[in-house]
Structure 1
Amino acid sequence: MAKHPKFTNNLINESSPYLLQHAHNPVNWEAWNPEVLKRAKDEKKLLLISIGYAACHWCHVMEHECFEDEDVAKAMNSHFINIKVDREERPDIDHIYMDALQMMTGSGGWPLNILALPDGRPFWGATFVKKQEWIQVLNQLQELYENNPEKIIGYAENMAHGLKEINTIAIEENSDIISISRINDIVKDWSTYFDTFLGGYKRAPKFMMPVNLNFLLHYGHSQKDEAINEYVHTTLTRMAWGGIFDHVGGGYSRYSVDTKWHVPHFEKMLYDNGLLISLYAKAYATTKNILYKNVVQQSISFIKEELLDVSNGFYSSLDADSLSETEKLVEGAFYVWKEKQLREILTDNYPLFADFYSINSYGYWEEDNYVLIRDAEAKDIANKHDLTEEAVFSTITKCLKLLKQERDKREKPRLDDKILTSWNGLALKGLTDAYRFLGNKEYLEMAQQNAHFILNNLVDKEGGLYHNHKNGKSTISGFLEDYAAIIDGFISLYEVSYNETWLNHSLKLTNYVIDNFSDTSTGLFFFTSNKGESLIRKTLEVADNVIPSSNSIMAHNLLKLSKYFPEESFEIRLNQIMNTMRKSITENPQNHANWLHLSLLMDQDYYEIVVIGENFEPICKTLMKNYLPNVIFAASNSKTSNLPLFMNRYVMNKTLIYVCKHGSCQLPVEETNKALNLINTKF
């Protein structure tokens, strides 16, 4: 019979797995809601806001050390209104308090713990804090609030002012597009940080930064810059060889703690994998490198096996921690191997496997555990063992299958089974790119099923989006990141399915964003709807991180949609946005890589390829397998479409390819190679 928990707080009524993890803490946690904030004001109590997420290792550690402890709970419950926030459910709150923490301490991270006035203005913050220090800090600050409140209020007022100040955009009085010569200078300066031997930056920990690599892939390809191309492919190869990639089950962890991509922080997030599937699919299109193809296939297998809901939505993440053989929650326990285990499972194939995946000092982690990592080309392993490369890969495939069967017997990491709209948009985009460049129809079917899930479950009565979905319910209004990612995913789905439904939904959602999220002074979009809950700041999210910023994705969407719907004023809006962002992009390009990519696209010739006629599908497939980042596609088999790109272009019994620029087209051709030549000659 299950043991009845000693404590239960109000988080028991929530659906977020992270909040539910804290529902039996002795702390009187509340979820963020207007009633709780009103109570804090009425009772003149300070807010204690603690933000984290389900897959966060240090969040679990602090919960165990502090929030499960009755002495700590006594200190928290006596004087504070304690609010737990899932940063993935409420990124709007997380943005503000993460900025506050970085202003106070110079760094950020989770768990993110903030003390704030009853109205939400913060005055103190920290990440992980040990039990005794935590109690001491809370008591000292409460005492200060009682005896010298003006000191805390003054600091909170300054912080609130600072939070608004750092989120203002410095606009340069220059309306020119950033030129290719300026971009060349930026990349040259940026490249001094590159680790050209192991990829990524010259530092640890190493994050994969797909946004940066996506820009550099296009830049190196279009400028024929061999040094940049080599850096990009070194990084992609080393990431695919590293322990950060799950060689047994597919998919990437969040980042590695070392310089060689070896030991990851073991949580696996949908957003990383969606972005990386897209990136590796494009890299495969430019190189036909089988390693990249395998990464795409295995990463899709992972999200299908571990994160796909029966309703065709994708869950959020797998935890870093899992139960070890001694029944303790240990980070990475599910993924690591001991040499003895490998010898027993793989028998005669062990020596080859050990060379291939570095069961030696290079692959050793700690406590007799190894994290699989490659450090050599297959041909070198083949030569050493007097085998062909095909034989090596055949044996390795068998070995990995055996290890997967064995690993499936272990206790799996905990699943965060909430469905987030924005991350589903990133996964949708990844699937469309995988289908486009690898041609596997299953990926198109998964993408279409996911898109239908989004339409059926994540759209509200007014035509807006929800942010979340769990247990058949969607409860939080959508943020800009949700609209941006879904619009991008739908445009991509149109390009590979030729179904105009998805393009029309992109148009509707874009107009919804313009009507409800606009900041008229900058042309940018607020992170929260103008009809949404009022927080201490309306955030403009512009900095690209591991995930591109919501505003930069929207700006890319406006570029594409201005080509499909030239009668709309998207191009005017885009130019205003790029004028606003010019100074930020040029002064801090590493944090604006998606914007830099957009600058490159806007400086280059940008083409519309229109294919119309009965034979459009095979022609489109042939064309789209090429890496063409500065092209949008429109295709139809008839003259019934209302898209402006098809007007007066249908000719009976012919399938014609029009290559256009700003709506001005070359004479149509019927062969794909002639169409590609028109792009390459840059008419």
Structure 2
Amino acid sequence: MSHTTEPKKGEANRLINATSPYLLQHAYNPVNWYPWGEEALEKAKKEDKPILVSIGYSSCHWCHVMERESFENDSIAAIMNEHFISIKIDREERPDVDQIYMDAVQAMGQSGGWPLNVFLTSDQKPFYGGTYFPPESWAQLLKQVARVYNEKRSEVEESADQLTNAIATSEVIKFRLKDNGTEYTTTTLEKMYEKLSMKFDGNKGGFKGAPKFPMPGNWLFLLRYYNATNDQEALRQLEVTLSEIARGGIYDQIGGGFARYSVDADWLVPHFEKMLYDNGQLVSLYAEAYTATKLELYKEVVYQTIDWLEREMTSKEGGFYSALDADSEGEEGKFYVWTKDEVEHVLGAEANLIMSYYNIEKEGNWEEGKNILHMHVSDEEFAKRHDLGVAELKEKVWKADELLLEERSKRVRPGLDDKVLAGWNGLMQKGLVDAYVAFGEPKFLDLALRNAHFLDQHMIHDFRLNRSFKSGKASIDGYLEDYAFVIDAYTALYEATFDEQWLKKAKGLMDYTIEHFYDNSEKLFFFTDDRSEKLIARKKEVFDNVIPASNSQMALNLYRLGKIYDHEEYLNKSSMMIGKMTALMEQETAYLSNWAILYADMATPTAEIVIVGKEAELMRRHLTDRYHPNKIMMGAIDASDLPLIKGKTTIGGATAIYVCYNKTCKLPVTSVEKALEQLQ
């Protein structure tokens, strides 16, 4: 067997040419890493060696630990270099590869997670894998796998074939998705809500138990369910959840932005990494929840989080970065936590009040001496206890936050993953548009427009989308997730501005996706473009997780664009997709909540609102002050070719609002109040 030369001490391996910050973190490991691609895959065949695929991402804590313990260890690296072709993958750049091998590890009966380490035959078929391994077990496993691969090849290949067949089985067959024509009823909606409500933590919000993840799709479904049924308990559960998260340590109290999850059941101790996709969706959710509840806390969270986005996560071109690491100086959370002495030093005379406000203790409320800033009660309650006016308290807290933030900015910062991912940018852009619609803040629209232009100029060519942008260049073919969230953001941007260029771009991307991703036989979309690299399986993503499934988002996009363009094919496709999922949705609402949101839109009438005239934009703003989420907004200052606007005119020169349901319009009105009455 030929021997692969390993990098010499201090010498870079092949990852040095990668764009991914995660791969670059591994560029000086003694492991002879390759990026995923032709060179490594060919080499494995030529040398008849098994492939080791190791998958992670830049802000993954246990990925760093395994690197430190094993991949920087010369003797372990030597075993890897002798027996394997080792490939490092950034799961955020290549979710297609990650999805296949994550499925494989779960099919072996193991729980998935990252780092994901999977052994493949030289033709990319998986035969063994797992997640994090401590160094001794890792070294032992490497030797064992190499021995079995050489001595029991036929058994290895047989098991690899079986696994490959299992993961290549279509999701439609695997989950018994049937073409059900769907009757959309609030009864089915109630069943979905009941399924979810069994998991509620009525005290602290979210679902019972720990760790606790903010799951924006689940809470948005609660809000839409409340809107459809007026169920006050659903609204209460939503408010408890959003208020507890906003006051918890999972939210960065002085800097804005949400951490990935909390390790406890109280939202107190975060896993400190901040991901763009969480923050984009949570900005949308808090903005919409504010419109429904008018709770000031939600507005503060949105404004502060967008400040963080602008300050720490925006590239000079207008793209949004992917993530901030949990660790700085090799220590988790070091950047974010405070000792009592540090706070006293920064705040002087105001320190006692603020320490009480944020629950800072001498012995620390987390690890010894270290405090995670969080609140136990509302500002109103705290102000009353301390004999202060609410406005006075807010002013004091705001000043203290400024000082603490300034002091914190002198610390060593957590690592920044500065690649720009199209789909995640779509989620954040949509968050900004939703925030603009809720609050009318021009800055939010400016940021959204800058991002929309950035994507359009740098990441979209002839309606074909790139996944990733870094160091001035776009790379990797877009996945369904990228198209789904960019289409959603552009559609929302049209509805917030009535600028039809964004609508046309959304439709162009939609038509490209139907042509290159849609599976006519199963009536769902593949995750990958038919022009892209062929892997051992072509998957479809149907379950909503922390990020909604790309198929559920496409079904929503088809529904909205179908309404706006009066496009029967889009509406039929959307209806067939949701019909396939309804039976499963009733059983597994928590994992299909984005589908359930579309179901809620279909179970109650969707208003088509058209505004025509000089004041179209102003009237849109007044109309969206009131909570009515199940609507499509269209408008024009004068004429438009959109089917639902054609032929609609001003009334005696005054801007007119047309409220329509299923293309049938009520009498046009010239005041927002009258339009709101028609919406009731």
- Counterpart residue identity of residue 97, structure 1: Y
Q: Deviations over 1:572-610 (max 9, x none)?
A: 111221222223222321100000111111111011100
Cα 1:654–1:383 change in 2 (3 A) is: closer
Structure-1-length-normalised TM-score: 0.96
Report the equivalent of 1:319.
325
Gaps of 5+ in 1: 324-328
Contact 2:50–2:83 under 8 Å retained in 1? yes
2:73 alignment partner, one of 69, 74, 80: 69
Contact 1:170–1:580 under 8 Å retained in 2? no
Report the equivalent of 2:341.
340
Query: Counterparts in 2 of 1:191-590, with a 5 A limit?
Result: 191-323=197-329, 329-360=330-361, 364-460=365-461, 462-590=462-590
Q: Deviations over 1:351-382 (max 9, x none)?
A: 21122111249971102101011111223322
Contact 2:186–2:229 under 8 Å retained in 1? no
Q: Deviations over 1:253-291 (max 9, x none)?
A: 100000110111111111111100000000110111110
2:48 alignment partner, one of 41, 44, 50: 44
Report the equivalent of 2:649.
650
Contact 1:437–1:626 under 8 Å retained in 2? no
Cα 1:380–1:647 change in 2 (3 A) is: closer
1:148 alignment partner, one of 130, 148, 152: 152
Cα 1:178–1:98 change in 2 (3 A) is: farther
CA distance in 2, matches of 1:532, 1:377: 51
Report the equivalent of 1:171.
177
Contact 1:244–1:255 under 8 Å retained in 2? yes
Q: CA deviation at 1:173?
A: 4.9
CA distance in 1, matches of 2:127, 2:477: 28
Pair 1:604-2:604 in alignment: yes
Contact 1:357–1:363 under 8 Å retained in 2? no
Q: Which runs of 4+ in 1 moved over 6 A?
A: none
Contact 1:121–1:157 under 8 Å retained in 2? yes
CA distance in 1, matches of 2:38, 2:589: 38
CA distance in 1, matches of 2:671, 2:293: 23
Q: CA deviation at 1:568?
A: 4.9
Q: CA deviation at 1:126?
A: 1.3
2:137 alignment partner, one of 124, 133, 138: 133
Report the equivalent of 2:5.
none
CA distance in 1, matches of 2:9, 2:678: 70
Contact 2:195–2:587 under 8 Å retained in 1? no
- Counterpart residue identity of residue 426, structure 1: L
Cα 1:173–1:382 change in 2 (3 A) is: closer
CA distance in 2, matches of 1:182, 1:580: 15
Partner of 1:659: helix, strand, or coil? strand
Report the equivalent of 1:119.
123
Partner of 1:467: helix, strand, or coil? strand
CA distance in 1, matches of 2:679, 2:213: 35
Contact 1:177–1:599 under 8 Å retained in 2? no
- Counterpart residue identity of residue 222, structure 1: A
Q: Deviations over 1:91-114 (max 9, x none)?
A: 111111111222224411111111
Q: Deviations over 1:35-61 (max 9, x none)?
A: 321221222211100000011111111
Report the equivalent of 1:633.
633
Q: Deviations over 1:597-635 (max 9, x none)?
A: 111111110111000012212111100222222101001
Cα 1:178–1:74 change in 2 (3 A) is: farther
Partner of 1:634: helix, strand, or coil? strand
Contact 1:616–1:636 under 8 Å retained in 2? yes
Q: CA deviation at 1:654?
A: 2.4
CA distance in 2, matches of 1:296, 1:490: 20
Q: Deviations over 1:496-543 (max 9, x none)?
A: 111000000011100000000011122111000111111111110010
Q: Deviations over 1:546-573 (max 9, x none)?
A: 1111111111101101111114510111
Gaps of 5+ in 2: 1-7
- Counterpart residue identity of residue 508, structure 2: K
CA distance in 2, matches of 1:361, 1:256: 23
Q: Deviations over 1:649-672 (max 9, x none)?
A: 114612111111121111111111
- Counterpart residue identity of residue 679, structure 2: I
Partner of 1:563: helix, strand, or coil? helix
Cα 1:48–1:654 change in 2 (3 A) is: same
CA distance in 2, matches of 1:361, 1:208: 30
Q: Which moved more, 1:441-450 or 1:560-569?
A: 560-569
CA distance in 2, matches of 1:391, 1:56: 41
1:92 alignment partner, one of 96, 102, 118: 96
Report the equivalent of 1:23.
27
Contact 2:262–2:271 under 8 Å retained in 1? yes
CA distance in 1, matches of 2:586, 2:600: 13
Contact 1:522–1:577 under 8 Å retained in 2? no
Q: CA deviation at 1:156?
A: 1.1
Q: Deviations over 1:190-241 (max 9, x none)?
A: 2111001101111110000001101111112321111111010000000000
Partner of 1:410: helix, strand, or coil? coil
- Counterpart residue identity of residue 454, structure 1: L
- Counterpart residue identity of residue 481, structure 1: E
Q: CA deviation at 1:11?
A: 0.3
Structure-2-length-normalised TM-score: 0.97
- Counterpart residue identity of residue 148, structure 1: K
State the percentage of identical aligned residues.
Answer: 42
CA distance in 1, matches of 2:363, 2:377: 12
Contact 1:46–1:117 under 8 Å retained in 2? yes
Contact 2:112–2:131 under 8 Å retained in 1? yes
Contact 1:177–1:602 under 8 Å retained in 2? no
Partner of 1:25: helix, strand, or coil? coil
CA distance in 1, matches of 2:9, 2:354: 47
Cα 1:109–1:578 change in 2 (3 A) is: same
Partner of 1:475: helix, strand, or coil? strand
CA distance in 2, matches of 1:285, 1:504: 28
Report the equivalent of 1:56.
60
Partner of 2:473: helix, strand, or coil? coil
Contact 1:527–1:541 under 8 Å retained in 2? yes
CA distance in 2, matches of 1:61, 1:528: 32
Cα 1:346–1:604 change in 2 (3 A) is: same
Contact 2:429–2:452 under 8 Å retained in 1? yes
Report the equivalent of 1:614.
614
CA distance in 1, matches of 2:655, 2:418: 46
Partner of 2:419: helix, strand, or coil? strand
Q: CA deviation at 1:5?
A: 6.1
- Counterpart residue identity of residue 203, structure 2: F
Contact 1:355–1:381 under 8 Å retained in 2? no
Contact 1:432–1:444 under 8 Å retained in 2? yes
- Counterpart residue identity of residue 276, structure 1: L
Cα 1:292–1:362 change in 2 (3 A) is: farther
Partner of 2:285: helix, strand, or coil? helix
CA distance in 2, matches of 1:174, 1:490: 31
CA distance in 2, matches of 1:406, 1:5: 39
- Counterpart residue identity of residue 150, structure 1: S
CA distance in 2, matches of 1:385, 1:617: 44
Partner of 1:381: helix, strand, or coil? helix
Partner of 2:477: helix, strand, or coil? coil
Contact 2:195–2:589 under 8 Å retained in 1? no
CA distance in 1, matches of 2:408, 2:592: 40
Q: CA deviation at 1:163?
A: 1.1
Report the equivalent of 1:326.
none
Contact 2:340–2:362 under 8 Å retained in 1? no
Cα 1:351–1:182 change in 2 (3 A) is: same
